Structure 1
Amino acid sequence: MNSSSAPGFGRRAFLGGIFAATAGGVVLGQDAKPAPKPKEHGNAIVYQFKIGEFDAWSISDGHMLFRGPLDLMWPREDQPQMKEWLESHGERMDGIPLYVNILVVRIGKEIALFDAGFGERDSTNIGWLQDGLKQAGIAPEQVTAGFLSHSHADHLAGFVAGGKPAFPNAAFYYLPEEYDFWHAKEPDFSKTKRNRAELPGMIREVCGQFDILKGVSQPAKAGTQFFNGAVTIEAAPGHTAGHAIFRIKSGNESLLHLMDLSHHHGFMFHNPNWYIAFDHDPMQSIDTRKKVFAQAAAERTRCYGFHVPWPGIGHVLPVGEGYLWHAERWSWGS
């Protein structure tokens, strides 16, 4: 199905302290208040590139560090091999860095956002997406499509701001299996290794955000195509019941967004049988990962990763019985 035939989707209307500097610093007017301190990003957060004829941006929504590099990783009996991998590749041993990369693509008159990060948070380390969009010259009102891979906070929360949709002119797409899971009377977390104490709050937060987005929601079945085939939503279950990945195609070029098939640039590529505590159904996530990685490697597909080092573009290469994430070299040339 093309976006033009998706229910409810159409062309949306675009919405369209005094101080003086001195040699000694800034002098504020009598009634002026100091400007709020800008969020400290630390490094550049926007990288522009091409997918065929499409303009695309990789925007960092921030970063986190999970202390204890193996505390979240399973199976436990393989942790000596995981530690050996970290040591042999010169990786930090005090924690797992988690990158949060947001893909934005301009497709003709459409601007598509693939997940939206953490959103409004009281932290300088996360919640950078809106600043990144501003750097890219994109106003929230210009975004016409928001694609959700799954409903964990670093993917869903940024679609909501101030109790309203953060992108008021965007249709909101997701697999129906994702919605059904979170809205079940008792969502099935029986197979996950994550902290059970977190679950009631997670469920309330997710359902509340879906309620806010109800007016713009457009559930789409796996295989649905948008914008005349430019974007295809594909089922990739395991991390969550309705976890989705996305294939963006322009002419002979394409990009496969892997979303949360891997939370690390080494572990799940090196051994697809390794998994993280956040997976809802670890065995299903392993099966999905093996299928997608095998196809991507065989077809030499250009890929994008949500949690690999920013800007997140690269290839999945076969190495022995596993794979290697090979990051694409940055390029600023035309």
Structure 2
Amino acid sequence: MPQPSFPLRSALSLALSCLPLATMAAAHATAPTEQVPGVYRQRIGALQVTALFDGIVRLGRKELVGVQPAVVDHALENRYVPETDKGLQTAVNAFLVRDGDHLTLVDAGTAQCFGPGLGQVLANLRAAGVDPSEVDDVLLTHAHPDHLCGILDSQGEVAYPNATVWLSQADAGYWLDPASEAGAPQGVRFAFALARTAAAPYQAAGRLRLFQPGQALPGHAMALDTHGHTPGHVSFRFDSQGQSLLVWGDVLHYHGVQFAHPDASFEADSDRQAAISSRRAMLSQASDGKWWVAGAHLPFPGLGHVRRDGDAYAWVPAEFSPL
């Protein structure tokens, strides 16, 4: 084969001599700091379930009550739950359930209520290829700000212009009533005004509907009574082709502790004993029924299964899978 001419040899030599400089420049380039959109899809029967990441909050160890600190420390040992002086990292997730042409959003995230680092549900919904105007119904597990505020956008406008919002009668009777605020614990009083503000435009448009547990809801959802975290906290079960999905809201907050110790309570639970009973019931039914579980405060995407582990339970996260 003929050797390259001198000009070509010179060009090749110059290009090769520049490679270390190019490599050094690439190595010193600023590394990206943003994650890809927080979206994950899972097929469950004929349903397409899309997990939508809203952001993270931090919950302190001291907010776990009914269990000794040493037990908490032992439960978290080797769990590698990110922790700072502000508390343990806890995800905030919402879930979009597509049943044919019907789109049901379960919980809506925080919008502007909890400050920067949260309020990502709307952006992630759009990243998933869904316009908010396409959502038919928003089912709320309860009226706390990290589940309800997101029915408004970051500007305080209606986020889902064609959706009907569904809230349990018991939670609406408590959180939307100004009279309840005066008798509430000081630490949760801020949430009442946030709930009323978020619900107001839907109420005015006749698109806030109240329901009782056990009532059939749009998208073939069934509301299950899981009160305790709030007076009207519910979970939603969707059944399709022999499979079940349980979207359980705030049945559990500290995944590193409460699967192994279901009697450990969150300080913010309005009725701790009822919350424990609801948690034990859902853990038992989900594990025995081999239900899919979607958790608002499980590590994103918050989808997986519950298995029994001796007298307690353990979380089995979903494997990444194609649709």
TM-score by length of 1: 0.80
Mapping 1:40-55, distance limit 5 Å: 41-55=34-48
4+ residue segments displaced more than 6 Å: none
Per-residue deviation at 1:62?
0.9
Q: Which residue of 2 aligns with 1:165?
A: 158
SS at match of 1:308: coil
> Which of the residues 163, 167, 185 maps onto 2:179?
185
Look up the SS of the partner of 1:270 in the other structure.
coil
Change (3 A) 1:189 1:252: farther
CA displacement at 1:121 relative to structure 2: 5.4
In structure 2, C-alpha distance between the alignment counterparts of 1:117 and 1:145, rounded to whole Å: 15
CA distance in 2, matches of 1:41, 1:61: 14
In the superposition, relative to structure 1, how do residues 275 and 43 fare at CA in structure 2: closer, same or farther (>3 Å)?
Answer: farther
Residue identity in the other structure for 1:131: A
Q: Tell me, in whole angstroms, the C-alpha distance in 2 between the residues paired with 1:283 and 1:188.
A: 23
SS at match of 2:180: coil
Question: Partners of 2:149 and 2:221 in 1: how far apart?
Answer: 22
CA gap of 1:145–1:137, structure 2 versus 1, over 3 A, is: same
Q: Would you say 1:224 and 2:220 are equivalent positions?
A: no
Q: 1:276 to 1:109 in 2, by over 3 A?
A: same
- How far is the alpha carbon of 1:111 from its aligned partner? 0.9
User: What displacement does 1:198 show?
Assistant: 3.5
1:294 aligns with 2:288: no
1:200-279 aligned at under 5 Å gives the runs 200-214=189-203, 215-227=206-218, 230-279=220-269
In structure 2, do the counterparts of structure 1 residues 283 and 307 end up closer, same or farther at CA, with 3 Å as the change threshold? Answer: same
Of 87, 106, 120, which aligns to 2:112? 120
Q: CA shift at 1:188, angstroms?
A: 8.5
Question: What does the per-residue CA deviation read over 1:215-271, in whole Å, with 9 as the maximum and x for residues that have no partner?
Answer: 2111122112234x7211111100000101000122212211111010122211111
- The alpha-carbon deviation at position 208 of structure 1 amounts to 2.4
RMSD: 2.0
1:315 aligns with 2:308: no
| Whole-angstrom distance in 2 between the partners of 1:65 and 1:42 | 19
Letter in 2 for 1:119: A
Query: Which stretch of the first structure deviates more once superposed, 259-268 or 122-131?
Result: 122-131
- Could you give the per-residue CA deviations for residues 128-154 of structure 1, whole angstroms, max 9, x where no partner exists? 111111111111111110001111110
Contact 2:152–2:159, Cα closer than 8 Å, also in 1 = yes
Give the percent of matched residue pairs that are identical in Structure 1 and Structure 2: 26
Any stretches of 5+ residues in structure 1 without a counterpart? Answer: 1-39, 191-195
* 1:168–1:92 distance in 2 versus 1, CA, 3 Å: closer
The alignment partner of 2:72 has SS state of: helix
3-state SS of paired residue (1:325): strand
The 1:41–1:117 alpha-carbon spacing in structure 2 relative to 1, beyond 3 Å, is farther
Deviation at 1:207, TM superposition (A): 2.0
Write the letter of the residue equivalent to 1:246: F
**Is contact 2:113-2:149 (8 Å) kept?**
no
CA contact (8 A) 2:83 2:89 kept: no
Quick one: distance in 1 between partners of 2:164 and 2:40?
Answer: 25
Contact preservation (8 Å) 2:81, 2:256: no
* Stretch of structure 1 that moved more, 135-144 or 57-66: 57-66
- The CA deviation at 1:165 is 2.4
5+ long unaligned stretches in structure 2: 1-32
Q: Which moved more, 1:266-275 or 1:238-247?
A: 266-275
Aligned AA (1:137): G
Does structure 2 retain, via aligned residues, the 8 Å contact 1:189–1:280? Answer: no
Other-structure match for 1:8: none
Indicate the SS of the match to 1:208: helix
SS in 1 for 2:252: coil
| Count of matched residue pairs | 285
Give 1 or 2 for the bigger CA radius of gyration.
Answer: 2
Indicate conservation of the 8 Å contact 2:226/2:278, yes or no: yes
Change in 2 beyond 3 A, CA 1:122/1:266: closer
Q: Structure 1: how far apart are the matches of 2:161 and 2:149?
A: 15
2:141 alignment partner, SS class: coil
> What is the CA–CA distance in structure 1 between the aligned matches of 2:197 and 2:277, rounded to whole Å?
31
Cα separation, 1, equivalents of 2:182 and 2:115: 31
Deviation at 1:329, TM superposition (A): 1.1
